[in-house]
Structure 1
């Protein structure tokens, strides 16, 4: 994968000497295109078939939702990059035993939801549409699903939302961006053009989109869980959240990696949302 990434980066770097803007567009398009998370195997399909499915709309994009009905509080689940709603099966099975009303969605360009491109800003709009429909008391987000959850609550300030759970969430867009640039080996021309395209499209440079900074104006109680050995999102991101998010507590794990998808994590979540 590293060799392939560097090879693609090399060719995009070459293009940057002819057309920096084209090189920036290609690099950003690659950055925004998930290559996994669309297809379901038989076991995953069987799990999703146990849910009530409903499509919602954001502009011209469909949002696929899955519901497991219960009479307890409503919990919304937002998965991460190159994943889909099936990643929540162990947690869903646990929450069902406690009669929670559970909603999961597929992110943009993932699972059965629409869009060819993905980013946390668009994802936050998906979360907004789903939240308007189902009125969650709690949102649990993994990885960039956690970042998108923060973007959502920062923008919309949902006062009905009681708790957030952020699992291995990136604290800022700059770090994600920089790790991508480093992985691909892009030169400064490509890096600069990517930043300028983001500025042109969203009105801000990538540095503005700091989930950790956004939490300064979020009062909603939150649980942060992050593994010290997370190789995808550095543990320092969790510390950034902790330093900025006044109403949050951090649980640090060791040896669970980035997925944070096991019985121990489920126990932490159950204890937090029950109290």
Structure 2
């Protein structure tokens, strides 16, 4: 039954579009922006208690950050969709053992952060709000966390970020939006209304949000790691990012999937941090 649920919901939204396309788009965008998971479990909560917790108020909601102090440079970790700061546990332990200062951020509507909805632009603003609270040297972002980090740096090139590491990050929004539209089976009325919604609320159509447009002002040295067999974000996205992010190195992995949780990946990260 679960496999048919998106089509059933999509069919209902299609019906609504014949009476009010704007209403249909609003519902569609809300579902697209509403994480189904990413809240913290008891084990995850207990681990994150080892950090110094700091709440940042942004846009009338609370943004949760976790801070482990060290004597070396500061690394900010930004997780992806339907995840939370605990996903970094293994890397946090490695960085702490090497005496790095580590800060992890729960994205809006994820973990212990507030907000009912999520999108990459809002996430980028939250990353910028976090950077105002902490002096960060390097940002590591997984999936949409990598994209949001790039948008944050592109929109504020005054930041003193030295390095940006993207793990399995998408190069654009249009692919994500198209996949969602296909999964839900939206008709042309809904798709057109979604584009109008983006234009009204974000100032641009979904196709504007590409790496070509949000990497122009990034001064930080980059590392892109992407798995050839990533079934969530295709490897071609990494090639597209590398094409436009001139000051970046691309590392291709095999067999680690979208999560990229591997000692080999962590070794690449540490080697890059040490250069």
Counterpart position of 2:71: 71
Mapped to 2, the partners of 1:162 and 1:194 lie a distance apart of: 37
Contact 2:107 2:126 in 1 (8 A): yes
How big is each residue's C-alpha offset from its partner over 1:55-93, in whole Å with a ceiling of 9 and x where there is no partner?
Answer: 011131111000110010000000000000000000000
Mapped to 2, the partners of 1:158 and 1:88 lie a distance apart of: 27
- Bigger drift between 211-220 and 79-88 goes to 211-220
Equivalent residues in 2 for 1:67-216 (5 A)?
67-216=67-216
Mapped to 2, the partners of 1:96 and 1:85 lie a distance apart of: 15
Q: Secondary structure at the match of 1:193?
A: helix
Counterpart position of 1:25: 26
Mapped to 2, the partners of 1:150 and 1:188 lie a distance apart of: 32
Unaligned runs of 5+ in 1: none
Mapped to 2, the partners of 1:129 and 1:183 lie a distance apart of: 33
- Bigger drift between 114-123 and 227-236 goes to 227-236
Mapped to 2, the partners of 1:211 and 1:117 lie a distance apart of: 23
How big is each residue's C-alpha offset from its partner over 1:27-57, in whole Å with a ceiling of 9 and x where there is no partner?
Answer: 111000001001x223212210110001011
Mapped to 2, the partners of 1:274 and 1:158 lie a distance apart of: 23
Q: Secondary structure at the match of 1:53?
A: strand
Q: Secondary structure at the match of 1:217?
A: coil
Contact 1:83 1:111 in 2 (8 A): yes
Counterpart position of 1:256: 256
Q: CA deviation at 1:17?
A: 1.5
TM-score scaled by structure 1? 0.97
How big is each residue's C-alpha offset from its partner over 1:73-114, in whole Å with a ceiling of 9 and x where there is no partner?
Answer: 000000000000000000000000110000001000001111
Q: Over aligned residues, Cα RMSD in angstroms?
A: 1.1
Residue 14 (1) aligns with residue 15 (2): yes
TM-score scaled by structure 2? 0.97
